[in-house]
Structure 1
Amino acid sequence: MRKSAMVALLGLLSAAPAMAQQDIRFSGFGSIGALYHDSDYLGFHRDYTMEAVELGWSTAADTMLGLQLNADLTDQLDLVGQMVFKNRVSDEVSDNLEWLFLRYRPNSDWAFRVGRLGLDLYMLSEYRDVSYAYSWVRPVPEFYNLISSISRYNGADVSYRTRLGDNIFEAKLAYGSNDAALQGAEQQIDIGLDDITALTLSLTANEWLLRASIANASATGENYQTNQLLFALRSIPKELWPDAAALADEIAFIHRKSRYYALGAQYDDGRWILQSELGYTETDWRLLQPYMSGYISLGRRFDNLTLFAMVASVQNTEDAEEIATPPSLPFLPAEQQAQLLALHGAAQYSYHASSLDQTSYSLGARWDFYDNMALKFQWDHTQIGDYGSSLWVRDFPMAHDDSVNVFSINLSFTF
């Protein structure tokens, strides 16, 4: 994260013990998971902030530990800090810090927070790493992989909550910035988000929870391979490829406007659990085509046993652009033709690298065998379309469709 923000947040935490008068509480959560998948050339990761696991069994994908501190500083002011340790791409200790914020509640309706926060963009916003809090082994990859990887931010939010008859309405407005090290499909990328603005509306009505979210940000990212491609394109003489420099400007990931929209609904009457979310993401960066993502999950509780089934999908709404070959090709010597075609291929490759086309079918069970402990089993069968495997880690985009099976067992707990 940005150094100045990190210093400020750590200063906030160090000052808390001196400020607190009473009521400091420590709690935690975690999961011990084992996962098996059967793909020889695709690596699975829970989200983009985590390292991928290869063919066979692994405990790295779903094993994590969270520690949380809640301190009531006054009747209206409290501090919350949360550390989550998992198999991250980043080796920075500070990146384990998920939350560190001060919250001021002048009354029961209003709340103001400042510090390191999580964007309230989806149903699991407050507990996506707390596996014990939901039936599945992990958040749905098709919906959560990307947006949950970049939803932590440094900034502030304000929320207003009120009763509408027997229902509760809440509105939350957030603003801030974020940076993160992410493991993309073929390489690591360092991404920064500025001017993040997000609005979330929710309505709780008896057994129902309804949500709507909208967010936008300015995104910048870079990695070594892309920098090399940009340098090569900008070095080509205009007479050999007139559009090369303009193409490099399109590929460069600098201050790209991104927008996100989501709707969610949950029904839970104690026996049946129905939950669904639908999201749409668009950006003016042409290498990331707009996409829709969503899922629907149905569960049934039988005392301490819950059975569930789910369908989830993510699809681009536009095809990747096809780049015209340089018009000078027929007039060049064979060696120069080969060099220019190789560069054209690399540029075209970058347009396909982020393509999304996959659907998963899941079955699972949760057994609450002890207080604050649950054992979960889940099978996911994922069908991937041509060039649509960018939720996975791979050596190159697959030009053919494929399928992957993932088997998971998970022990989740809180304390």
Structure 2
Amino acid sequence: MNKQIIAAALALPLALSSAFAQEAQGPSVKISGFGTGALTWTNTDQAEFSRPNQASGVKKSPRTGVDSNLGLQADIGVNSWLSFTAQGLVRRDAEEEYGAELGWAFAKAKINDQFSVRVGRIGLPAFMISDYRNVGYANNFLRPPVEMYSQVPFNSLDGIDATWQHSFGDTTLTGQLAFGGAEAPITGDLTARGKKMSAVNVVAEHGPFTARLGRVDATVSIYGNGPSNVRLGTLLTGLRTFGTALRAPQLTEMANQLAADEKKASFTSVGLGMDWNDIVVQTEFAKRKVDAYVNDTSSWYVMGGYRIGKFLPYVIQSKVKIDGTVANVVPATCPVASPAVCGQLAALRAGANALPYTGVGQGESSTTSIGMRWDFYRSLALKAQIDRVKPAVGSGLLLNAAPGFNKDVTVGAVAIDFVF
């Protein structure tokens, strides 16, 4: 979306707020915002640490772009049953520079005290903290665990959802059903597109305890005109050519799977949370399945902390692993005696294994984190976090790694979160 249009959209709520303030009658307007100012660094220059969907990350030299953002939200209440909400976010994502994006833009109709419907761009309820994953102040940790939150590229959905909420004694049950489509840049020149998307989200809250179950289904495509897509196209052509010439149907099948064109995908997750007697616990477990050469994965994290006045020290353990083995791989042995053919086949094997989340072991990683949150002033929180990232095979989830890199990486970060 054109950045000038987004900037104008972000400024519009402020103008509306000023205009409505001068009227005795009219819609109610609420302007709010959030942000994080952070500095992040690592102990290596051989690979880059990043958040999901970022084009580049950070090495030894401290950078602000990994964990910093700024958001602005406008809520306009027309009457007791109709309202409009828009939320814009500025951050570094799949481009090298900071960019603005329209995260939410929906109309909400409150049918009754228990049932409501929204139409427009809404948050995709794939995770336990989907609606506030970018609001640092609302989360105890400095950033959501990458091993879990890198498994779905979409943050929002363009479509419709319905939410039902009812209390059963001391327990509140919320159910959400959403339908639509989405697009998300995943690198500087590749974009993921989700069609026929459906999401189910069920949350139960009882005192200090929260339990959640969610499921997202979609058909997913990857497209783009940049170098990454050109390399993929060359790889697919080579696989199909060799599949025919060598009478190796597994190569043709591999090409068909690597061509990520409307392939069925699902993401199922459960979550539990507790904030009781200063003890804070949060955990999620998820399964991703894709009918393509993208690896199926299992991911999880456990966070535990203990609140001491305005301080909250915490620890996190997170992991993502590939389920099973990759069924279709370029053969390790060359079926013919031609050195030229064997050399080209070896190049195809290297190209396939270099694709994100497709090579054997690529994308597997675990992280141990320790951190501290200090609510030092109203609506302000200071956080510090140290992560020990451990790629299982290759470079794991790290970006732009040097050839053969497979070392543990220490990541440090300090941040100030705020809301207004």
Identify whether the pair has TM-score above 0.5, normalized to the shorter chain: yes
Percentage of identical aligned residues = 24
CA deviation map 1:181-201 (0-9, x unaligned):
113xxx752110001111011
* 1:346 Cα deviation from its structure 2 partner: 2.5
CA contact (8 A) 1:241 1:328 kept: no
Residue 302 of structure 2 corresponds to residue 296 of structure 1: yes
Which one of 17, 33, 49 corresponds to residue 38 of structure 2?
A: 33
The equivalent residue for 1:207 is 208
* 1:92 Cα deviation from its structure 2 partner: 11
For 2:147, what is the secondary structure of its paired residue? helix
Are the structure 2 counterparts of residues 340 and 310 from structure 1 closer, same or farther at C-alpha, using a change threshold of 3 Å?
closer
CA deviation map 1:388-407 (0-9, x unaligned):
x3422124674x74211011
CA contact (8 A) 1:373 1:411 kept: yes
For 2:364, what is the secondary structure of its paired residue? strand
Alignment of 1:112-191 (within 5 A): 112-147=117-152, 149-183=153-187, 188-191=189-192
Are the structure 2 counterparts of residues 340 and 121 from structure 1 closer, same or farther at C-alpha, using a change threshold of 3 Å?
closer
CA deviation map 1:47-100 (0-9, x unaligned):
214542233311111111101101001110111100110012248999611000
* 1:354 Cα deviation from its structure 2 partner: 7.3
Taking the aligned partners of 1:296 and 1:340, their CA distance within structure 2 comes to: 43
The equivalent residue for 1:275 is 282
The equivalent residue for 1:96 is 101
CA contact (8 A) 1:353 1:390 kept: no
Taking the aligned partners of 2:258 and 2:403, their CA distance within structure 1 comes to: 18
Alignment of 1:171-320 (within 5 A): 171-183=175-187, 188-222=189-223, 223-236=229-242, 238-243=244-249, 244-269=251-276, 271-286=278-293, 288-320=294-326
Taking the aligned partners of 2:235 and 2:367, their CA distance within structure 1 comes to: 34
CA contact (8 A) 1:311 1:360 kept: yes
The equivalent residue for 1:408 is 413
* 1:343 Cα deviation from its structure 2 partner: 2.7
CA contact (8 A) 1:375 1:410 kept: yes
CA deviation map 1:368-403 (0-9, x unaligned):
11110011011111221123x3422124674x7421
Are the structure 2 counterparts of residues 335 and 60 from structure 1 closer, same or farther at C-alpha, using a change threshold of 3 Å?
same
* 1:255 Cα deviation from its structure 2 partner: 1.1
User: What root-mean-square deviation, in Å, do the aligned CA atoms of Structure 1 and Structure 2 show?
Assistant: 2.7
Are the structure 2 counterparts of residues 47 and 220 from structure 1 closer, same or farther at C-alpha, using a change threshold of 3 Å?
same
Which one of 356, 361, 376 corresponds to residue 363 of structure 2?
A: 356
Taking the aligned partners of 2:55 and 2:134, their CA distance within structure 1 comes to: 12
Taking the aligned partners of 1:397 and 1:279, their CA distance within structure 2 comes to: 30
Alignment of 1:307-346 (within 5 A): 307-321=313-327, 322-324=329-331, 328-330=335-337, 332=338, 334-346=339-351
Taking the aligned partners of 1:324 and 1:37, their CA distance within structure 2 comes to: 37
Which one of 90, 109, 116 corresponds to residue 114 of structure 2?
A: 109
Taking the aligned partners of 1:384 and 1:118, their CA distance within structure 2 comes to: 30
Q: TM-score, normalised by structure 1?
A: 0.88
Q: TM-score, normalised by structure 2?
A: 0.87
Name the amino acid aligned to 2:177.
L
Q: How many residues align?
A: 398
For 1:391, what is the secondary structure of its paired residue? coil
CA contact (8 A) 1:69 1:81 kept: yes
For 1:224, what is the secondary structure of its paired residue? helix
Are the structure 2 counterparts of residues 302 and 237 from structure 1 closer, same or farther at C-alpha, using a change threshold of 3 Å?
closer
Taking the aligned partners of 2:364 and 2:90, their CA distance within structure 1 comes to: 31
Taking the aligned partners of 2:243 and 2:280, their CA distance within structure 1 comes to: 61
Are the structure 2 counterparts of residues 54 and 158 from structure 1 closer, same or farther at C-alpha, using a change threshold of 3 Å?
same
For 1:234, what is the secondary structure of its paired residue? helix
For 1:352, what is the secondary structure of its paired residue? coil
For 2:214, what is the secondary structure of its paired residue? strand
Are the structure 2 counterparts of residues 406 and 221 from structure 1 closer, same or farther at C-alpha, using a change threshold of 3 Å?
same
Stretches of structure 2 lacking an aligned partner (at least 5 in a row): 224-228
Name the amino acid aligned to 2:185.
A
Are the structure 2 counterparts of residues 99 and 374 from structure 1 closer, same or farther at C-alpha, using a change threshold of 3 Å?
same
Taking the aligned partners of 1:142 and 1:88, their CA distance within structure 2 comes to: 17
* 1:135 Cα deviation from its structure 2 partner: 1.4
CA contact (8 A) 1:191 1:220 kept: yes
| Bigger mean CA offset, 154-163 vs 120-129 | 120-129
| Bigger mean CA offset, 20-29 vs 100-109 | 20-29
* 1:242 Cα deviation from its structure 2 partner: 3.7
Taking the aligned partners of 1:91 and 1:401, their CA distance within structure 2 comes to: 25
CA contact (8 A) 1:320 1:355 kept: no
Taking the aligned partners of 1:364 and 1:48, their CA distance within structure 2 comes to: 24
CA deviation map 1:243-272 (0-9, x unaligned):
343332122111111011101011112511
Taking the aligned partners of 1:179 and 1:368, their CA distance within structure 2 comes to: 36
Taking the aligned partners of 2:218 and 2:232, their CA distance within structure 1 comes to: 22
CA deviation map 1:88-132 (0-9, x unaligned):
224899961100000110211001001111112222111111101
Name the amino acid aligned to 2:291.
D
Residue 86 of structure 2 corresponds to residue 85 of structure 1: no
Are the structure 2 counterparts of residues 401 and 236 from structure 1 closer, same or farther at C-alpha, using a change threshold of 3 Å?
closer
Name the amino acid aligned to 1:264.
G
Residue 23 of structure 2 corresponds to residue 23 of structure 1: no
